[in-house]
Amino acid sequence: MTSKTVLIVDDSRLSRMIIKAMILEKHADWEVMETTNAEQTISLMNTIAKPNLITLDVNMPGMDGLTLAALIRETWASVPIVIMTANVQESVSRKCTELKVGFVEKPITADAVAKALTYME
Amino acid sequence: MKSLLGSTTEDCLDDSKLYLATLVVREAQIGLMVLDSGQRVVLFNDWLAKAVDLPERDALGKSLMELFPELEDSRLQNAVETSLQMGFPALLSQSLNRAPFPLFANDEDRKTGRRMEQHIQVIPLGCGDKRRYALVQIANVSVAVKRENMLLEQAKELKRNLIIDGLTGVYSRRYWEEQTLIELRKARRTCLPVAMIMLDVDLFKNYNDAYGHQEGDLCLSRIAKAAASALKRPRDILARYGGEEFVALLPETHIEGARVVSERILDSVEKLRIPHAKSDVAPYITVSMGVSCGFPSEGESQERILSVADQALYIAKSLGRNRVVLFRDKGFFTTDNIQINNTLLERK
Amino acid sequence: MFVLNELQQDALLEIFNIGVGKAAAALSKITSEEVLLSVPTLEFLEWEEAKQHLPGNGKVICGISQRFDGPFKTEAVLMFPEEKSLEIIRYILGLDSLLEHLTEMEQEGLCEIGNIVLNACMAPIADIFSAEFHATMPEFRSGTSEHVLSVDAEQPNRVIMLMLVELQMEKHEIEGYLAFLSVLPDIQRLTSNVDRFISEFTR
């Protein structure tokens, strides 16, 4: 299997640490990038090649993850995105379906991360 | 002093305390049921046995769903599960759940199917390594619910009294004032006119003197109903202004529309043919009306529209009553388009 | 002043975030309306200072509170401005607004809503700590936020941990809060549990 790039967008350092650790445990050769808000994410995607998967937190300072997902979709229509959130309201999962992005429920467990990776092409 | 049942759960209960505890549970005037971790009944007190009409021995060992199949997937079942699994207590209010359990205060209620109103608490018992139970405590709150419904009824009645005139059944002056403010605000935005009709019963004092106040009240009530039925649109309202005076508010109405409505009112009151021997206008009850119309969007106030209607009413009475006078194009007119000037008034 | 390190603070917020997400889902289900959540804030303050940070602008608010005691001890409160509490419960019950104040039964109804929301919030937190919380029955309070969130008055100088999340229900223009308050000795119990949580995940 070729090496993949995953971008983790989450304002919580701990969440990023956990997701990253769980990905690298199974796929030591993958590259994992991290951003903490919408601006960083867009500028990273504009300058560096697009990742094979983006994981997005919903509840972040500034732009929320769902709005960011829609914004990414405008420029990068096909990049796989998965929303990782504890906000399990029906309205959130409905928006995920509308935006054609994956939905994984927090807390972040090995199972949750494994499920998130299934959204990769 | 040490508590009767021991100060902590670690304290052993001696036989006499255990006996007493058993008695308390049995005699308590509240429903008590204990479920084990498999949701099977291990305690079912007398109060509950009576309310469900099921002796404790028949309830013991049965699961909650066996005893009360209607509770499948209910909030109560959910609360019991939360209690047993997480150890969190739960409250089920009467307002959100009414009466989950088939509990009846007496045989008659049982026959008619009227359940006790219930306030339920689900309390986890034992925690940590100890086996967990859930205590379901049910209080009958029927009396409190009844009291509250009475209070709500009274509030409804009170509100109705503020809106409706008690004597005639048409709207109250207070409600008319409120609605006028709302309609004028709307009219300022929509730039549409608002019309008002002031109505006075002709020679009503004579009627009261001749027939008595009781007949007078009855007469007013009949006039009010007839006049109100002449208003056709839902936002038109007729209110009692005071004494034998009434006022109609007609939103989004030009003077021509208001004229049609006022003639309809005149007609419907006349058709009642309420005998009035002391009237020099007609042998039956008649009314006089003043009609005005204004554009709040051009700065015309409620006071201005109403005072013009009042002047028109005064002129209608001066012209011999039983008629409508309206204000348009800066002058007062009869319904058959005769402009009223001072000489006409003086001649009368 | 007592301060958590960045990682501990992060972990704590993340743990509460998961609870708050479940709480919002529970509230959304009861009210059939989407509940928007703010990013939670976490502060360590003395009570006198904390008072300045409480929402409500001195207006009367209604709060439903439960105390939870387990890996840490906290007072969890769901609160709304008084007039919005009336609106929520009467909307759910389909009642006209005839009375200016909550009736006893409406108050009970709000208590139950608070109970559902707060239990939903604390259940995943208990799961994360693999521990159990002992919880009290929900209690209804109304008054200023200072009164609704009152801590042990005998020790006003104790440092408290205040976590706040704003809830918004757009259709009814309702703004409410979820607040969690803990006093200092319990915060230490909390941080040792948070450290255990961090070490488990970042072996």
Please tell us whether the domain made up of C6-198 is placed in CATH 3.40.1550.10.
yes
Would you call A14 and C14 a contact, using CB atoms and an 8 Å cutoff?
yes
Look at phi and psi of residue B243 and say left if phi exceeds 0, alpha if psi is from -120 to 50, else beta.
Answer: left
- Nearest residue of C to residue B150, measured between CA atoms: C103
Domain boundaries, chain C: 6-198
CATH number, domain of B318, equals 3.30.70.270
Domain co-membership, B168 together with B254: yes
Q: Where are the domains of chain A?
A: 5-117
**Whether the predicted interface score ipTM is above 0.90:** no
In a domain, B33, yes or no: yes
Q: Are residues B172 and B250 in the same domain?
A: yes
How many domains is chain B built from? 2
Mean pLDDT of chain C: 85
pLDDT in tens, B156-193: 888 888 889 989 999 999 999 999 999 999 999 999 99
Q: Which two tokens stand for residue B325?
A: 């006078």
What does the alpha-carbon distance between residue A43 and residue B66 come to, in Å, rounded to a whole number?
61
Residues of A in contact with C124 (CB under 8 A): 86, 107
Same domain, B198 and B299: yes
In a domain? residue B155: no
Give the confidence band of C197 by pLDDT, cuts at 50, 70, 90.
confident
Fill in the DSSP letter of residue C15: H
Cα→Cα distances B287→A96, B203, B237, B261, Å: 69, 9, 18, 14
pLDDT at B130 (0 to 100) = 66
**Better-predicted residue by pLDDT, C190 or B31:** B31
Residues B120-162 pLDDT 10s? 999 999 755 667 899 999 999 999 999 999 988 888 888 888 8
Same-domain pairing of B289 and B185: yes
Does residue B238 belong to any structural domain of this protein? yes
- Of B66, B81, B148, B244, the active-site residue reads B244
List of chains touching B (3+ CB pairs within 8 A): C
* Mutation for testing the C interface, residue in B76, B80, B88 having most C CBs under 10 Å: B88
C30 pLDDT higher than 80: yes
Tell which of B148, B177, B203 closes a domain: B148
Residues of B in contact with C112 (CB under 8 A): 91-93, 95-97
Within-domain flag for B3: no
**A21–C202 C-beta distance less than 8 A:** yes
- Which domain-ending residue is among B104, B120, B148? B148
Where does a domain end: B115, B148, B181?
Answer: B148
Q: Tell me if residue B298 is catalytic.
A: no
pLDDT confidence bin for B6, thresholds 50/70/90:
very low
For residue B4, what pLDDT is reported?
46
Can you name the residues that pair with B186 across neighbouring β-strands? none
Taking an 8 Å cut-off on Cβ atoms, the answer to whether C7 and A13 are in contact is yes
- Label residues B296-311 b or e (16+ Cβ within 10 Å = b): beeebebeebbebbbb
Amino acid C116: pLDDT: 95
> What CATH superfamily classification does A5-117 receive?
Response regulator (3.40.50.2300)
Q: Tell me the CATH number at B96.
A: 3.30.450.20
Domain holding B326, by residue range, is 164-347
Closest C-alpha to B38, from B86, B80, B69? B80
> What was the pLDDT predicted at A10?
94
Residues B249 and B307 in one domain: yes
Average pLDDT value for residue range C162-191: 85
Whether residues B132 and B169 share a domain: the answer is no
Task: Give residue A66's pLDDT.
Answer: 94
Among B144-158, B212-226, B314-328, the minimum mean pLDDT is found in B144-158
The tens digit of pLDDT for each residue in C76-95 reads 999 999 888 888 888 888 87
The pLDDT of residue B1 is 41
